[in-house]
Amino acid sequence: MKIRKIILYRFVPLILAISVCQEMSGQTDSLFREIDSTTVWAKRREGHMKAKSGGALSLEMKQMDLLPKILGTADPMHYATLLPGVQTASEMDGSVHILGSENAHNNIALGNVPIYGASHLLGLFSVFNSDHFESMDYNQNAKAVSRLGGELKMVLQKKIPEKMSLSASLGPVATQATIGLPAGEKCAVFLSGRRSFLNLMYSGILSADNMNLEYGFTDLNATVLCRPTKKDIIQVNGYFGQDDAAILSEAYTITSDMGWGNKAASADWTRYTVYGKLTQSLYATTFSFDGNLSFESMSIALPSSLESYGYKVDATIGGLNLIGDIIYHKASPQAPSNTGSYIADSEPEHQKGWESLLGASYRIRPLLNLSAEAGLSVPAFFTDYKNYVFLDPALSITYHMYEKGKLSLNTGFRHQMLFQTGFSDLGLPVEFWFLAGEHSDPQSSAYITLDYSRSLGHGAWDLTVNAYFKHLDNQIDYDGTAFDLISASYDLDDVLLKGRGNNFGANIMLTRNVGPVTGWISYSFGKALRRFPELSETEWYPANHERTHELDAVATYTRGKWDFGGTLVLASGNPFTPAEYVYLFAKQILVNYGEHNSDRLPMYARLDLSANWNCFKTRLGEGGINFSLYNAFGNPNIYAYTIHFSNTKDGFTYQARKSFMRFLPSISIYFKI
The rounded distance, in Å, linking the Cα atoms of 61 and 76 is: 8
**CB of 502 within 8 A of CB of 529?**
yes
Which one of 283-287, 484-488, 622-626, 663-667 scores highest in mean pLDDT?
Answer: 283-287
Give per-residue pLDDT as tens, 207-261: 655 667 788 899 999 999 999 999 999 999 999 999 998 877 665 566 778 899 9
- d(CA 467, CA 525) in angstroms, rounded, equals 9
Most confident of 14-28, 472-486, 503-517: 503-517
- For residue 425, is pLDDT > 60? no
The pLDDT value recorded for residue 454 is 92
Percent of the chain with pLDDT over 70: 83
Residue 38 lies in a domain: no
Task: Using a pLDDT cut of 90, give the percent of the chain over it.
Answer: 55
Residue 628 reports pLDDT greater than 60: yes
pLDDT of residue 73: 86
- Measured over the CA atoms of residue 484, residue 488, residue 489 and residue 492, the dihedral's sign is negative
pLDDT of residue 9: 35
Positions of E strands within 457-514: 461-478, 496-512
**Residue 39 falls within a domain, yes or no?**
no
Check: CB of residue 15 under 8 Å from CB of residue 21.
no
Amino acid, single-letter form, for residue 591? V
**CB of 407 within 8 A of CB of 467?**
no
User: Which pLDDT band holds residue 17 (cuts at 50, 70, 90)?
Assistant: very low
**pLDDT tens digits along 97-144:** 999 999 999 999 999 999 999 988 777 789 999 999 999 999 999 988
Whether residue 5 is contained in a domain is answered as no
Mean pLDDT rounded to a whole number for the chain:
84
Q: In one letter, which amino acid is 437?
A: G
Say which residues have a Cβ less than 8 Å from residue 522's Cβ, sequence separation at least 6.
82, 83, 84, 507, 508, 509, 510, 551, 552, 553
- Is residue 450 assigned to a domain? yes
Cα dist. 44→119, 460, 462, 483 in Å?
Answer: 35, 10, 15, 59
More confident site: 648 or 434: 434
Q: Phi, psi at residue 327, to the nearest 5°?
A: -135, 135
Q: Which residues contact 38 (CB under 8 A, 6 or more apart)?
A: none
**CATH number of the domain to which 131 belongs:** 2.40.170.20
The per-residue pLDDT for 20 is 32
Q: Using CA of residue 60, residue 66, residue 72, residue 75, what is the dihedral sign?
A: negative
Compute the distance between CA of residue 122 and CA of residue 213 in angstroms, rounded to an integer. Answer: 11
Pick 139 or 659 by higher pLDDT.
139
In sequence order, the 6+-apart residues with CB closer than 8 A to the CB of 384 are 352, 437
Q: Rounded to whole angstroms, how far apart are CA atoms 94 and 28?
A: 69
| pLDDT higher than 60, residue 629 | yes
The pLDDT confidence band at residue 483, using thresholds 50, 70 and 90, is low
What is the domain range of residue 440? 50-672
Give the model's pLDDT for residue 5.
39
Residue 211 has what pLDDT?
A: 67
Indicate if the pLDDT at residue 40 is higher than 80.
no
Q: Is the pLDDT of residue 523 over 60?
A: yes
Distance CA 182, CA 189 (A): 6
Arithmetic mean of pLDDT, 632-643 = 81
Q: Is residue 607 part of a domain?
A: yes
Among 161, 106, 163, 94, which residue's Cα sits nearest to residue 132?
A: 161
Q: How confident is the model at residue 648 (pLDDT cuts 50, 70, 90)?
A: low
- Residue type (1 letter), 382: F
pLDDT at 146: 93
395 conformational bin, left if phi > 0, alpha if psi -120 to 50, beta if neither: beta
* Domain count along the chain: 1
Task: Calculate the dihedral angle through the C-alpha atoms of 576, 581, 587, 588, rounding to the nearest 10 degrees.
Answer: -30
Alpha carbon distance 98, 100 (integer Å)? 5
- Higher-confidence position of 434 and 95: 434
Return the pLDDT at 654: 74
Q: pLDDT category, 289, cuts 50, 70, 90?
A: very high
- Does residue 9 fall inside a structural domain? no
DSSP state of 76: H
Instruction: From residue 244, give the alpha-carbon distance in Å to each of 194, 265, 348, 428.
Output: 14, 22, 23, 12
Asked if 627 and 610 touch (Cβ cutoff 8 Å), the reply is yes
Average pLDDT over residues 268-288: 96
Give me the half-sphere count of Cα atoms (radius 13 Å) on the Cβ side of residue 269: 5
pLDDT reported for residue 402: 85
Q: 537: which residues sit within 8 A by CB, 6+ positions away?
A: none
Alpha carbons 633 and 554: distance in angstroms, whole number = 16
pLDDT band at 280 (very low <50, low <70, confident <90, very high): very high
pLDDT for 249: 67
Alpha carbon distance 284, 328 (integer Å): 9
Q: Say if residue 16's pLDDT is above 90.
A: no
Q: For residue 431, what pLDDT is reported?
A: 87
In a domain, 23, yes or no: no
CA geometry: angle 121, 122, 126, nearest 5 deg: 65
Q: Output the pLDDT for position 225.
A: 97
